Homo-oligomer: A and B are copies of this chain.
Amino acid sequence: MTGILAGLRIVEGSAFIAAPLGGMTLAQLGADVIRFDDIQGGLDSDRWPVTKDGRSIYWAGLNKGKRSIAVDLRHPKGREILTALIAAPGEGAGIFSTNMPARGWLSYESLAKHRPDLIALNIVGARDGSAHVDYTVNATTGFPMVTGPAGHQGPVNAVAPPWDLATAYAGAMAILAAERHRRMTGQGQRIVLPLQDMALSVTSALGYIGEAVVNDIDRPRYGNEIFGTFGRDFRTRDGRYVMICIFSDRHVDALAAAGGFGEAFRQIEVETGQDLKTDAGRWRARDRLCAVIEPWVARLSAEEVGKALRQAGALWSPYRTFRELAADRESVLDNPMFTIVDQPGIGRYPVAATPLQFGAVPREAPRPAPVLGQHTDEILSAILGLPGHEIARLHDEKVVGGPR
């Protein structure tokens, strides 16, 4: 391992998105991330999307570059092994990340008996420990009531899970913050990160709670428009969609150049009294802007629209489906972040490394996800120092599992 986090070891007890993605992020930066699962597989081992044979493409995506140990989680000896693994000595070791219920033998108190400077990140649903997933948390934030087509009744859920993503990366960051603290003070600690609080803190940071209280309004549903500036989807002659935005002066001029809108924009400014070089002006005059841009886009093919916008340096993007994305040169096939990986049991497809480029170390190519228990033996041997005959007995007694 040569990544920026080489020397760090994290033991992970996880399922679904937030905790595994946080661990995978650290693994792709060079940390030795060991995910443990029950000998039967975790809650998410068969999670969709799956291949025709039922192999989880989802699991493969979220556990890349980790090592896997499979243990009977109900067996006292299985628990003993994992406790020893979590509390194993070493400067960069003794870090535990989980979204499993951290009770009993997995509680911080129990584990810290074996390693007083243990760092444990516990991702929980709500702060009272009750269960939550991205979907339920999202419902409470208010976002589903302002997402989706204007005029639509009822909520619109997010598909890209914003709160899982925030929790994954904030959790990974928290582990590094605690590791820094431990290096400076020798002190370990438990970190609690409630998924719901994560979502609420972002909702607060983005101004939604402040707006509701200070202005005493519920923001309406603005469809695909970007609130408070200019941006929307437009449909091309050939039935494709493009997103066109304005976030700065430069984007106003570029858009005007792309479509020859200079005179039309000036007229909008004169007639509405709005300054299109300000956020507020663009937002207030957005219907007028759309009335100019919409027919231009509708007259052209997606290729023609793209060419004009690109040449002018406008802020825009075509919309794509996932299949179109997977076949796109610029985004995927020619992107050095992607490598074609052969994922055992699933197949060959483009897989992303970390998006972070650290100047001090080269970016590691993505490694496949392990199969369940792939590293059981090497972990028992190299980290816990168990001799071969003991490892064999643990397999015979079905305390541990994995391909032999």
Contacts and interface: CB of A to CB of B under 8 A. Distances in A.
A170 B357 CA distance: 12
A247 B201 contact: no
Interface in A1-35: 4-5, 7, 16-17, 21, 24-25, 29
A298 interface: no
A341 to B, nearest CB: 9
A214 interface: yes
B318 A212 contact: no
A328 to B, nearest CB: 8
Interface stretch (A82-90, A348-356, A390-398): A348-356
A324 interface: yes
Interface in A158-213: 158-162, 165-166, 168-170, 172-174, 176-181, 183-185, 187, 189-194, 196-198, 200-213
Interface of A is mostly: mixed
A47 interface: yes
Contacts of A49: 207-208, 210-211, 215, 219, 227-228
A204 B174 CA distance: 24
B189 A360 contact: yes
Given A155-B224, A322-B212, A132 B48 contact: no
Contacts of A61: 204-207, 210
B46 A155 contact: no
Contact of A212 (B200, B283, B326): B326
Given A148-B148, A211-B322, 20 more contacts: A5-B180, A17-B206, A47-B229, A48-B227, A49-B207, A49-B228, A57-B210, A57-B215, A62-B206, A165-B202, A176-B176, A180-B180, A191-B357, A197-B355, A200-B338, A203-B322, A208-B325, A210-B343, A210-B346, A214-B349
A104 interface: no
Contacts of A187: 360
A142 interface: yes
B209 A140 contact: no
A356 B174 contact: yes
Nearest first, the 8 closest Cβ-Cβ pairs linking A and B are A48-B228, A169-B169, A136-B317, A197-B355, A204-B352, A189-B359, A173-B173, A142-B322
Size class of the contact patch on chain A: 35 or more
Contacts of A169: 165-166, 168-170, 172-173
A160 B157 contact: no
Contact of A189 (B313, B315, B343, B358): B358
Contacts of A208: 49, 322, 325
A302 interface: no
A207 to B, nearest CB: 4
A36 to B, nearest CB: 18
Q: Which of A198, A233, A243, A322 has the most chain B CB atoms inside 10 A of its CB? A: A322
Contacts of A212: 321-323, 325-326
B135 A4 contact: no
Interface stretch (A66-74, A259-267, A329-337): A329-337
Q: Which of A198, A208, A283, A346 has the most chain B CB atoms inside 10 A of its CB? A: A208
Interface in A212-240: 212-219, 224, 226-229, 231, 233, 235
Contacts of A319: 139-140, 144-145, 155
